[in-house]
Amino acid sequence: MLFFGTLALGTIMAISSLSWFYAWVGLEINLLSFIPLMKTPNNKFSSESISKYFMTQAMASFILLFSMVFFATLKDFNFELNNLTSILMSSAIFMKMGAAPLHFWFPEVASGISWNSNLILLTWQKIAPMIIMSYLILMPGIMIIFIVSSSIVGSVIGLNQTCLRKILAYSSINHISWMLSAMLCSINTWLIYFLIYSMLNYVIIHSLKLWKIWFIPQFNKIKNTPEKIIFMLNFFSLGGLPPFTGFVPKWITISQLSNNNMFTLMTILISFTLITLFFYLRITFSTISLHSNNSLFPKSSNNMLMSVCTLTIIPMMVTLSMLIT
């Protein structure tokens, strides 16, 4: 519980600070608090993932601190040097959140840690970098480069994966492109997107943890047909397939991009999201086709989990659409 408290403290400190230095300190508290939470007993891969995560985050922190010191020492305003500093700071923040093309560490770290740690990595650990990135939105050109890269990488490379932790990691990279696009339009749009994305991730990861599923071929553990259907619908929702809840934030973002005449960016995001839907369909097809008489999870269904799953599908979409219109 101590590390969860300091994890939250670091994030709150980073997003509420008026000083870049204290924001950096908040990020470091967040980093040092998350590392003990990544350690899993009897998991030989967790130590490797911790090392990769620490080295990458330390490198990003060094770049961020260097760019802050460099900017502070500038006595005269120089447009080129100011742009260089902004690029360095943006790159450091994008590396911390795992945006492409600085995503090299993200899937590898995700594949070696537990489902609980994955949930934190995919959701909570994105809050501070995203909020800090909103302060650097004065140079949208840099952000658009990372948006397009994340959209392409998250969808194309995710096609070849069978490890569900890596699939969710590449899916997260694709969702980063949507969240950054939402942030270009409005911080409220980003907040709606992030909340729905986090909720869907919680439901899916909790289900996979309950059934002890790590790879696509292990879907033969799911024997109960209603549970299969609910699980499929939640993956469709995470992919943004209408009329499920996950389509709502994408629909809002598309509307905002259209209002701001960002039609090219909107087209790229939609096109590569269709590719992510393809590997979600592959997962759901595996859920249907792979069947085993020897189920490895308890036959008694988790009623609370199924209720939460059902709540993520239609009702929230209806509520949000009423609020928007």
Tokens for 305? 């989990």
CA angle 202, 203, 206 (to 5 degrees): 80
Say which DSSP state 219 is in.
G
Residues 104/166, Cβ–Cβ less than 8 Å: no
d(CA 306, CA 192): 23
CA angle 273, 172, 168 (to 5 degrees): 95
pTM here? Answer: 0.88
Distances, alpha carbon 160 to alpha carbons 45, 102, 290, in Å: 21, 19, 19
Residues 256/185, Cβ–Cβ less than 8 Å: yes
The dihedral formed by the CA atoms of 32, 84, 267 and 246, expressed in degrees to the nearest 10: 20
d(CA 227, CA 173): 27
Give the residue, 310 or 68, on which the prediction is more confident.
68
Most confident of the ranges 38-47, 95-104, 128-137, 281-290:
95-104
* Average pLDDT of the chain, as a whole number: 84
- Please tell me the predicted confidence (pLDDT) of residue 299: 46
Mean pLDDT over 111-115 rounds to 92
Say which DSSP state 163 is in.
B
Tokens for 89? 């700071």
Span of 80-84, 100-104, 285-289, 306-310 with lowest mean pLDDT? 306-310
Tokens for 93? 């923040």
- What are the sequence ranges of the domains in the chain? 2-324
- Please tell me the predicted confidence (pLDDT) of residue 87: 87
d(CA 247, CA 249): 6
Residues 320/188, Cβ–Cβ less than 8 Å: no
Q: Which runs of consecutive H residues, i.e. helices, occur in the chain?
A: 2-16, 20-38, 46-72, 79-97, 106-111, 115-122, 127-134, 140-156, 164-185, 187-211, 225-239, 247-259, 263-289, 303-311, 315-324
Distances, alpha carbon 190 to alpha carbons 182, 253, 262, in Å: 5, 8, 16
Closest CA to 25 of 3, 9, 5: 9
d(CA 77, CA 267): 38
Say which DSSP state 215 is in.
B
Give the residue, 44 or 15, on which the prediction is more confident.
15
Residues 83/139, Cβ–Cβ less than 8 Å: yes
Cα 268 to chain centroid distance, Å, stands at 19
pLDDT range class, residue 103, cuts 50, 70, 90: very high
pLDDT range class, residue 324, cuts 50, 70, 90: low
d(CA 80, CA 192): 36
pLDDT range class, residue 298, cuts 50, 70, 90: very low
Give the residue, 214 or 281, on which the prediction is more confident.
214
